[in-house]
Amino acid sequence: MGIGSRPASCASCGKRLNRKQWYYRNGKFFCKKRCFGTEQEKTATEAAKAAAAKAEAKEKARVAESAKETPAAS
Ligand SMILES: [Zn+2]
């Protein structure tokens, strides 16, 4: 595996990757283990946010749907 097979900077902090010390986890490169932890936390937070947004959208759709179902006087 050549030197060109990895990016020049850390996926978390953007710091230039050290030639000797870098971590490869989940398809990303990090300058140190701590950056992998940080990135993982960030990803988890984003996933939680996305799940919450999805749940909210679902709830909104449900409310809209129940409003539609209100029997209209004909
Ligand atoms: Zn880093």
pLDDT, tens digit, for every residue of 31-63? 999 999 999 999 999 999 999 999 999 999 999
36 C-alpha to ligand 1 centroid (Å): 8
- Asked if 16 and 9 touch (Cβ cutoff 8 Å), the reply is yes
Higher local confidence (pLDDT), 69 or 38: 38
Q: Where are the domains of the chain?
A: 3-69
Confidence category of residue 4, pLDDT binned at 50, 70, 90: low
21 C-alpha to ligand 1 centroid (Å): 11
- What pTM, to 2 d.p., does this model score? 0.61
Confidence category of residue 2, pLDDT binned at 50, 70, 90: low
Higher local confidence (pLDDT), 39 or 7: 39
29 C-alpha to ligand 1 centroid (Å): 8
Query: Across all residues in the chain, what is the average pLDDT?
Result: 88
